[in-house]
Chains A and B, each alone.
Chain A
Amino acid sequence: MKKSEIAIVVPAYNEAKTVGKLIKKLVYAGYKNVIVVDDGSHDQTFEVAQNCGAVALQLPINRGAGGALRTGFSEAINLGAKIVVMMDADLQHRVSDIKKLVEPIVKKKLDIVLGSRLLGEKHKMPKTRQIANITGNLTTRLLLGINVTDSQSGFRAIRAKALKKMDLKSSRWEICSEMVGEIKRLNLKFTEIPIKVVYTTYSLSKGQNFKNGLKTLARLLAIKFK
């Protein structure tokens, strides 16, 4: 697999401080197809992404990680990517882990590889995030009938063919679980691999928290029973 056949999709909401550095790191590592989806940010996220040479898309209003990701996925498919990698814009995910995510797709002919924060070094994740994750996993298991160690991970690699088949509808965080549910529905071949996630106070100030978790649960129920 050539790196030019991989597209990196980065949803970004108010990440002007970090997104430029991430793009540079990615390009330096040989990933030239970086798609940044600015999720209606109030800062310079879009301009920074454009100036750093990424394919930059802009949602005119904030729609959440799900809306941003799905937009990025469509663009990646339009650009003819063979493998799509999704990762956060806040430098929490390490560029060096991309190789580990992509490899099983190429070598083991898998459809999707989920980066898991819970395989390997568990203690690195703050308590609040651990609780969010356990709850997320349990509900995904009960509602969607599939067992994974990290259903809420935002660092994943997907074969474009499998991505095209997925019927993703959600706008916000429930996209993470929705994808896992699609693995089960479409009988996709998948695996989980350990990834390292860096938790800084910057990254902890955003993202999934208890209140959001409840909302995510409500939306998951809506997906399940619609």
Chain B
Amino acid sequence: MIFKIFIITFAVLFIVRLLLGLSQKKIDATNFLIWILVWGSVIVFTIHPTLADQVAQSIGVARGTDAVFFVAFMIMFYFIFRLYSKITAVESDVTETVKYIALINRKLDRGVKRKKK
């Protein structure tokens, strides 16, 4: 029971953070929906564990907890993948910016020297 309360509090805290995030425009609508679904179902399945079993049976997995873990893993992999792609994109943007700074600095440098002469 204590464990259940712990999980639910945790999920509620996350949802509050999501709502705050949305109102402060720190996250976009799609992400908001995905995470609300995730934490919402965490709450639902904690309160009604048998519901998970029903869902599991309907998609052909033996136990409810297995199905929950399976979905959780899929979601995690999805976000890890997205994080990885975003970081890669940011990395390459940083390189382009750094390259640009170096070339501009060199140009300015040349300009200064020419003026001195």
Q: Name the one of A57, A64, A66, A171 contacting B102, with C-beta atoms under 8 angstroms.
A: A57
Q: Which residues of A contact B91 (CB under 8 A)?
A: 171
Give Cα A57–Cα B88 distance, bound, in whole angstroms: 25
Partner of A71, one of B88, B94, B103: B103
Q: Which secondary structure characterizes the binding site on chain B?
A: helix
Measured CA separation A131–B69 after assembly (Å): 40
**Cα-based distance from A215 to B88 in the complex (angstroms):** 12
**Min CB–CB distance B105 → chain A (angstroms):** 7
CB of A60 within 8 A of CB of B99, answer: no
Contact B101 A60 (CB under 8 A): yes
Categorize the interface residue count of chain B: 10 to 19
Kindly identify, within residues 22 to 75 of chain B, every residue whose CB is under 8 Å from any CB belonging to chain A.
none
Whether A171 lies near B105 (C-beta < 8 A) is no
Interchain nearest-CB distance for A11 vs B (Å): 12
List residues of A (78-131) whose CB comes within 8 Å of B's CBs.
Answer: 78
Instruction: Give chain A residues whose Cβ lies under 8 Å from the Cβ of B95.
Output: 63-64, 66-67, 70, 171
Question: Do the beta carbons of A63 and B103 come within 8 Å of each other?
Answer: no
Interface residues of B (CB under 8 A from A): 88, 91-92, 94-95, 98-99, 101-103, 105-106
Minimum-distance CB pairs A-B, first 5: A171-B95, A67-B95, A71-B99, A57-B102, A63-B95
